[in-house]
Homo-oligomer: A and B are copies of this chain.
Amino acid sequence: MSGIRRIVLDILKPHEPKITDLALKLCSLKEVDGVNITVYEIDKATENVKITIEGTNLQYDVIKEVIESMSGVIHSIDEVAAGRRIIEDVKTPQDRY
């Protein structure tokens, strides 16, 4: 078992610090392989971003601490993958979305 391999988070943050700084800070965690931060809404003082983090044995509490130390607020955890390999969400006809 390799613990949590991917976490997708919905975040609200002020424009500063920039997403480049937030990405670097998250990557400095030793369990993190890579981070993608995508901006999906920009307001006057804040921006909504989606953060995808991949790695091995990711620790949600540590990640949360880093994000909050950069003035970000976690709105929701939207996806998690765990295990020996990353499993993708499989589309089925029963999906209500």
Q: Which residues of A contact B (CB under 8 A)?
A: 1, 3-8, 10, 18-20, 23-24, 26-28, 32-42, 48, 50, 52-54, 60, 76-90, 92-97
Contact = CB atoms under 8 A, between A and B. Distances in A.
Nearest to A20: B60
Nearest to A23: B82
B8 A90 contact: yes
Contact of A93 (B4, B6, B23, B40): B40
A31 to B, nearest CB: 11
B27 A82 contact: yes
B94 A78 contact: yes
B37 A79 contact: yes
